[in-house]
Chain A
Amino acid sequence: EVQLVESGGGLVQPGGSLRLSCAASGFTFSSYSMSWVRQAPGKGLEWVSAISDSGLTPYYADSVKGRFTISRDNSENTVFLQLKSLRPEDTAIYYCAKGWGSRGYYYYFMDVWGKGTTVAVSS
């Protein structure tokens, strides 16, 4: 069964840091891009960041560029999101999601999602 399990969320003060992890299982992790998507309370989905299958190419939303860093460890089937200089507006559920791929074609939309981990930024 394909599964994504996020961890690392919590309550942090403005200006603080957190490291989110997403453990993947049930598929060949190193063959797919991975993304992070967040959802603030009562709001819509916001794409945050993605990383290529090799880990060489990261992408970021303008709202987090320079503050968040995505990385992956293909030997551990895990993708990370390092959050720094956190702001109250970063408060959200953070979802990890697997990029779609089939027959040699790979794209940055998501076909499997984790249940999410909650980040709350407040003093």
Chain B
Amino acid sequence: DIQMTQSPSSLSASVGDRVTITCRASQGISSYLAWYQQKPGKVPKLLIYAASTLQSGVPSRFSGSGSGTDFTLTISSLQPEDVAAYYCQNYYSAPYSFGLGTKLEVK
């Protein structure tokens, strides 16, 4: 089974900062990686798929990159509404595991 490792587990940054979250797969998954955002008390929301394709309606300050085993989610200019937990997911092969998540706070 493929294990997904996210870092950091939590992060505090200021409004306007550039924020980067990393996700590493235990084996190569090509670009079969998705990122989700879950705001406090809310349902998860798809942000990015195919490692770098922005889901419709997602602000352009979000971007994704990577392939193989190493991936990043970047927020170019952090906004107060970006307070959330962020999760990566492998969809290369079952089980379609998630990373443990990164909790993002705004200072």
Contact = CB atoms under 8 A, between A and B. Distances in A.
Interface of A: 35, 37, 44-47, 50, 59-62, 95, 97, 100, 107-111, 113-116
A61 B94 CA distance: 8
A115 B38 CA distance: 12
Contacts of A45: 36, 38, 44, 87, 98, 101
B97 A47 contact: yes
Interface of B: 1, 32, 34, 36, 38, 43-46, 49, 55, 85, 87, 89, 91, 94-101
A64 B95 CA distance: 11
Q: DSSP class of B's interface residues: helix, strand, loop or mixed?
A: loop
The 10 closest A-B pairs by CB, nearest first: A109-B34, A59-B94, A44-B101, A109-B91, A113-B43, A45-B98, A108-B91, A61-B95, A111-B46, A47-B96
Given A45-B38, A113-B44, A107 B32 contact: yes
Contact of B98 (A46, A60, A108): A46
A116 B49 contact: no
Contacts of B38: 45
Contacts of A47: 89, 95-98
A45 B42 CA distance: 12
Contact of B87 (A44, A97, A111): A44
A108 B34 CA distance: 10
A107 B29 CA distance: 13
A84 B1 CA distance: 23
Contact of A108 (B45, B87, B94): B94
A107 B46 CA distance: 13
